[in-house]
Amino acid sequence: MPEGHSVHRIARQFALHFVDKPIAASSPQGRFAAGAAEIDGLTMTDARAVGKQMFLEFDHRIWLRVHLGMYGAWDFAGDITADATTASANGRMGHTNQRGTTGQGGSANDNEESLASIGAPRRLRMAEQERLGEAIDSFPPEPIGAVRVRLLAPDAVADLRGPTACQVLHPEEVQAVIAKLGPDPLVDDTDEGRERFVNAAIRKPTPIGLLLMDQNVVSGIGNVYRAELLFRARLDPHTPGKLVPRETLEHLWDDWTYLLGVGVATGQMMTMDDLADDDYRNALANRDDRHWVYHRTGEPCRLCGTPIVMEMAAGRKLYYCPADQS
């Protein structure tokens, strides 16, 4: 379920608390026993995200590639970071609460789960959303559910459940995977990334609504950001890529860059940032009421009142305003 912003946040969690630490790897569920054995006892040397994929490096020579797919999740516990999410007037970008700080997280109506800081060792689930769980009474805690792989550092542990992909790769294999992916605003230089995206989209007969979801065209966009980006651009999702003006494609890239930055900073897919501060805060707090069109079938468009339309596109639900996006 996670779109690109979540994966970058998870990679940051690993960078903060697992990189440069020796890792005991295991597969409590058993399905990844062989892979876990390959990295068991090695030191994690890098953690990075490209689009929806995450790559963890061990001893500068071997990588673990993880893709969470629809329902994958990482459960962290121990010495980890819970990011504070604030929507205060001067704090839209949020801030990172390092572990162990007293963490008064922000105003009272913010998301209390995201805001709490981790004083005592706690569980933290990182998937499409982040949820702070109960304190643990011993370390490491027992795995919960079907854990494909457990990565245990001296003071922190990460359990992976339900991934689409989890495999050990050599450096050249990692390069091959990354080479096939479209640009990621947080990985690729902006000008070069924008040009790659535009060139990949501008001649295609494929509808722009499908191109934005194609990870070979641009990395990290999922069903929520797809719908919201198209609405923000007032663009008809059915428009073939070759009929979308270059400047509109450039704008889509720039807006994706912006939304991804907000998402990584706050942990929220906040796409209605041009509301007044009070409304913005309210939208952030109310998860069902924070998007322009996503998941709003039949509800009035926030701009023109026309009922939002939902249709299936390549097996996924596509939401748009038939009046504003025409």
Shortest distance, CB of residue 22 to DNA, whole angstroms?
A: 26
Provide the CA 31 distance to its chain's centre, in angstroms.
Answer: 25
Over the window 44 to 73, marking each residue x when it contacts DNA by CB under 7 A and - when it does not, the resulting string is -------xx--------------x-xxx-x
Residues 252-271 touching DNA, rule: CB under 7 A, are: 269
Among 23, 200, 208, 213, binds DNA (CB under 7 A): 213
User: Residue 123 or 281: which CB sits closer to DNA?
Assistant: 123
Among 224, 230, 265, 293, binds DNA (CB under 7 A): 224
- Using a 10 angstrom Cβ sphere, with 0-12 exposed, 13-18 middle and 19 or more buried, the burial of residue 321 is buried
- Using a 10 angstrom Cβ sphere, with 0-12 exposed, 13-18 middle and 19 or more buried, the burial of residue 216 is exposed
Alpha carbon distance 226, 267 (integer Å): 17
CB burial of 228-243 (b: ≥16 within 10 Å; e: otherwise) equals: bbbbbbebbbbbebee
Alpha carbon distance 199, 183 (integer Å): 11
Over the window 74 to 93, marking each residue x when it contacts DNA by CB under 7 A and - when it does not, the resulting string is --------------------
Close Cβ partners of 199 (under 8 Å, ≥ 6 residues apart): none
Stretch that binds DNA, among 58-66, 150-158, 160-168, 184-192 (CB under 7 A): 160-168
User: Residue 198 or 218: which CB sits closer to DNA?
Assistant: 218
Residue 162 is a binding residue for DNA (CB under 7 A): yes
Number of residues that bind DNA (CB under 7 A): 33
User: How far is the CA of 180 from the CAs of 41, 143, 184, 318, in angstroms?
Assistant: 31, 34, 12, 25
User: Residue 145 or 154: which CB sits closer to DNA?
Assistant: 145
Stretch that binds DNA, among 13-21, 86-94, 221-229, 233-241 (CB under 7 A): 221-229
Shortest distance, CB of residue 68 to DNA, whole angstroms?
A: 8
Among 223, 239, 266, 325, binds DNA (CB under 7 A): 223
Shortest distance, CB of residue 221 to DNA, whole angstroms?
A: 8
Q: Is the peptide bond before 207 cis (omega within 30 degrees of 0)?
A: no
Residue 128 is a binding residue for DNA (CB under 7 A): yes
Q: How many CB atoms within 10 Å of residue 73?
A: 22
Shortest distance, CB of residue 51 to DNA, whole angstroms?
A: 7
Shortest distance, CB of residue 159 to DNA, whole angstroms?
A: 9
Residue 1 is a binding residue for DNA (CB under 7 A): yes
Alpha carbon distance 59, 215 (integer Å): 29
User: Residue 73 or 211: which CB sits closer to DNA?
Assistant: 73
Q: How many CB atoms within 10 Å of residue 108?
A: 7
- The alpha-helical segments, DSSP class H, found in the chain are 4-17, 33-39, 112-115, 171-180, 190-201, 208-211, 223-232, 246-266, 277-285
Chain contacts with DNA (rule: CB under 7 A): 1-3, 29, 31, 51-52, 67, 69-71, 73, 125, 128-129, 144-146, 148, 161-162, 164, 213, 215, 222-224, 269, 287, 314-317
